[in-house]
Amino acid sequence: MAHLLILWPMSGSISLSGPRLTGFLCVLLVVSAHASRDAVSGNNETWGSPARATQGDPHHQNSSTTHRKAFPVLSFNYDHVKTPFEISLWILLALLMKLGFHIIPRVSSIVLESCLLIVVGLLIGGIIKAIKQTAPVLDSKLFFLYLLPPIILDAGYFLPIRPFTENMGTILVFAVVGTLWNAAFIGGMMYGVCQIEGAQLGHVDLLSCLLFGAIISAVDPVAVLAVFEEIHINELLYILVFGESLLNDAVTVVLYHLFEEFSHAGIVTVGDAFLGVVCFFVVSLGGVMVGTIYGILGAFTSRFTSHTRVIEPLFVFLYSYMAYLSAEVFHLSGIMSLIACGVTMRPYVEANISHKSYTTIKYFLKMWSSVSETLIFIFLGVSTVAGPHAWNWTFVIFTVILCLVSRVLGVMGLTYIINKFRIVKLTKKDQFIVAYGGLRGAIAFSLGFLLTNNEMKNMFLTAIITVIFFTVFVQGMTIRPLVELLAVKKKEESKTSINEEIHTQFLDHLLTGIEDICGHYGHHHWKDKYDAYVKRWLIVGERSTEPQLISFYNKMEMKQAMMLVESGSAAKLPTLMSAATLQNIQQKGVPSRRAIPSISKSREEEIRKILRANLQKTRQKLYSYRRHDLVMDPFEDNVSEIRFRRQRAEMEKRMSHYLTVPANRQETPSVRKVCFEPENKVYTYDDSESPRGRAAQPSPRLPDAISLLSKSPQRPNQTSALRAKGSTELRAKAPDEQEEQDQVKLSRCFSDPGPNEEEEEDGSFLS
């Protein structure tokens, strides 16, 4: 019956036909399920034999001695599928909610999705309570084993490594020292509050307060992700807060277990405290070690998956999940293990797996983490309504205030110390955002849920829920306008241009070299050594020697090529021009034709979007010619290869044109009556002066470059001998490129090229 009532509000609130239809279907199904279930119990007879139903005792299973049962044409057995059915229904509902929010235009821009989901959970919980059913509660086991890992894996796998490692010191200080400070401050002050007369809190002892402090002090990665995803803050702040929320898990685990043990034991000795410190190191480093081991295993496995590409994603998921579970077995920090596994595995796996597997991994992770997050917030709402509460004004209000105060003090104090060691200092604005972004979430709730049942537990739970609600609703919703107000630097549209990439690499090597000269083994040095040795073991074959720059460049070209195919004519530069003279071009005032091919805006956006992703991406199939992969690939390979080579050649031609031909050419306009045309347009030009004219004619594609190239030796002054060498080199290269292209082009000239091919050949890297 509960299901019935849940569906009604949903179908009423969403004004689309799709969900409503689904809702109605669900309603029908469930209504019939319930109706039948109530009527028919333990009896599998059908409606085909109503006489039987009226006859005997419904609970009395009649055997074939007196009556003969008719063959059940249609039978009903809900219990059989009850559990998976309910689970699926819940997940489906949650996702339909999510869908609904994004369709209603105004809501999603004002209110955070997580807030809406909690509200929905509250509603559902309220409804369930109203009909006096037992609501599904956010069971800790369900949370920690099923709902949390996908989110953490998703976050860890796509963690931006460079900012993370660059700010590792800061993040660790915030995570460890900050959380300890929070726990101590809140626990201690709450104990002081509990001593206040008249608050009826005298029964709360110090250890319980400290335990409570430990639970409530940790910044929650789920909530942080949910909020920070939507405000697009700059990378540094994001990685600081998010990194802290991930790494403080070790502290939380240790403190939680420590205080729980102590509160049972009753007294604390110095030895116990010392053991606690040791335990912290064991938990955190052990977790990282477990994760790294599984990560290396995963990377090593991926080296051999070239023959079974289809199951590649599963290895990633399973190794990571095993890392998490293995860490949890020993009470090590599962979150840190999962992060370590993802981070370790990623560069090697991505070098080894196919592009499709990479896409699969990406999408599955995003999907699972999205579902998990939605479910977590809804369950949080439901559990709020359902759970037993013990409201105590003093306790709750002081908890909220102390959380805020301790966070602010902690961040400010730590930043003061940290800034002495940082090169890029944290400004006051940064500190404010870091402090304000310290949200609590479902992890605190689940930990509270795990407490042993005593009279304090309900009070603690109430306080925890209040803090969570406060942080998510108040802080989460106001952080966006505050970010705007304070003009905090937003996430930059990173134009990772090839020049920046070159210089990043160059700088890396330069700094390593300088460190070596100084005799100081800094982290550049170690990173270099690590790269050199480890990669050899974990990456297939020749790819292990391939530097980042080549992968980056190839990836860009591949994306460019793909974009050209997919984008169609809309994003291209307008190039449909007949053979026109230079004057014509100039008079038409379309400078882009003759200028350096500049990127059109939409193309630029696409390129940037793609380039913004992490650079250690999957190797495209440029150098692997494996044919027995999925069927489409061989074709793709061929086409890509040719495309790349042609693009590259074309670009070289353009380069030589713009960059090597000196300024004082004396060319007749007729020779220059060429432009970058789509290949199936034949146009004439006066090539009498060009020695390559004959060769160039059948391939109308690159006439300009070739003819101009041929002109260059006649130039009187070459300001640099190198330039002449460069151009002759190119010229010598041209015939090779050309023959190959001739063949392809001829075949295409004579067959109908079709719009796609025309477009895909027309572009070069930048156009």
Residues 379-438, interacting with another protein (CB under 8 A): 419, 423-425
- The nearest distance, CB 579 to another protein, in angstroms, is 16
DSSP reduced 3-state for 629: coil
Q: Is there binding between residue 495 and another protein (CB under 8 A)?
A: yes
- d(CA 735, CA 741) in angstroms, rounded, equals 9
Residue list 121-140, contact with another protein (CB under 8 A): none
Per CB under 8 A, 714 contacts another protein: no
Structure token pair of residue 371: 């579902």
If the CB atoms of residues 276 and 662 are measured against another protein, the closer one turns out to be 662
- Which residue from 93, 435, 467, 661 is in contact with another protein, where contact means CB under 8 A? 661
Q: Which tokens in the block code for residue 304?
A: 């051999």
With tokens 């085909």, the residue in question is: 48
The stretch near another protein (CB under 8 A) out of 152-160, 185-193, 226-234, 495-503 is: 495-503
Residue type (1 letter), 137: V
487 lines the binding site for another protein (CB under 8 A): no
| Token pair 């913004």: residue | 612
Interacting positions 47-76 with another protein (CB under 8 A):
none
Give the one residue of 15, 586, 714, 756 binding another protein; rule: CB under 8 A: 586
Closest CA relative to residue 350, chosen from 307, 311, 395, 298: 298
User: Is there binding between residue 592 and another protein (CB under 8 A)?
Assistant: yes
Interface mask toward another protein for 525-564; x: CB under 8 A: x--x---x---------x--xxx-xx--xx----------
Q: Which stretch binds another protein (CB under 8 A): 65-73, 359-367, 646-654, 685-693?
A: 646-654
500 is a site residue for another protein (CB under 8 A): yes
Helix (H) or strand (E) holding 361: helix 355-386
513 part of the interface to another protein, by CB under 8 A: yes
Q: How far is the CB of 505 from another protein (least distance, A)?
A: 6
Q: Are 374 and 142 in contact (CB under 8 A)?
A: no
Least separation in angstroms between residue 528's CB and another protein is 8
Smaller CB distance to another protein: residue 497 or 569?
Answer: 497
DSSP characters for 250-297? HHHHHHHHHHHHHHHH----HHHHHHHHHHHHHHHHHHHHHHHHHHHH
> Which of 427, 497, 569, 747 contacts another protein by CB under 8 A?
497
**Taking Cα atoms as reference points, which of 222, 239, 236 lies closest to residue 471?**
222
Binding of another protein at residue 499 (CB under 8 A)?
yes
Of 597 and 753, nearer to another protein (C-beta) is: 597
Closer CB to another protein, 358 or 644, in the complex: 644
Rule CB under 8 A: is residue 641 a binding residue for another protein?
A: no
Longest dimension (CA), the chain: 116
Binding mask 715-754 for another protein (x = CB under 8 A): -----x-xx-xx----------------------------
DSSP state of 490: B
Distances (CA, A) of 677 to 44, 629, 650: 76, 36, 12
Q: List the x/- string, 138-177, binding to another protein by CB under 8 A.
A: ----------------------------------------
Name which of 318 and 766 has its Cβ closer to another protein.
766
User: For 233, phi and psi rounded to 5 degrees?
Assistant: -85, 170
Measured from the CB atom, is 413 or 522 closer to another protein? 522
Complex with another protein: residue 193 or 426, whichever CB lies closer:
426
Residue with tokens 């989110």: 151
Q: Which of 563, 739, 759 is nearest to 679 (CA)?
A: 759
Stretch that binds another protein, among 195-203, 357-365, 399-407, 664-672 (CB under 8 A): 664-672
Q: 206-217 and 442-449 helices cross at what angle (nearest 10)?
A: 150
Of 333, 660, 690, 707, the one binding another protein by CB under 8 A: 660
Among 273, 367, 514, 682, binds another protein (CB under 8 A): 514
- What is the x/- site pattern for another protein, positions 601-640, by CB under 8 A? ----------------------------------------
Cβ atoms 222, 245 nearer than 8 A: no
In DSSP notation, 31-90 reads HHHHHHHHH--S----TT-HHHHHHS-TTS---TTT--PPP-SS---SGGGHHHHHHHHH
Nearest Cα residue to 468 out of 281, 244, 219, 687: 219
Q: In terms of CB distance, is 141 or 490 closer to another protein? A: 490
HSE, side-chain direction, 13 A CA sphere, residue 383: 24
CA distance 532 to 549: 15
Query: CB-wise, 268 or 498, nearer to another protein?
Result: 498
CA 762 to chain CA mean position, Å: 33
Which region among 94-102, 363-371, 586-594, 635-643 touches another protein (by CB under 8 A)? 586-594
What would the 3-class secondary structure string for 154-198 be?
HHHHCCCHHHHHHCHHHHHHHHHHHHHHHHHHHHHHHHHHHCCCC
Which secondary structure element, helix H or strand E, spans residue 735, and what is its range? helix 721-750
Q: Please, what is the minimum distance in Å from the beta carbon of residue 655 to another protein?
A: 4
Q: What is the CA radius of gyration of the chain?
A: 33
Residue among 22 and 352 whose Cβ is closer to another protein: 352
281 phi and psi angles, rounded to 5 deg = -65, -40
CB 711 to another protein: min, Å: 12
- Whole-number minimum distance, CB 590 to another protein, in Å? 10
State which residue, 101 or 553, has the beta carbon closest to another protein.
553
Q: Which residue has the tokens 């104090």?
A: 413
Asked if residue 648 binds another protein (CB under 8 A), the reply is yes
Number of residues in contact with another protein, rule: CB under 8 A? 73
What SS3 class is residue 301?
helix
Nearest approach in angstroms of CB 713 to another protein is 16
Give min distance, CB of 518 to another protein, in A.
Answer: 6
> Min. distance of Cβ 502 from another protein in angstroms?
6
Q: CA–CA separation, 172 vs 178, rounded Å? A: 9
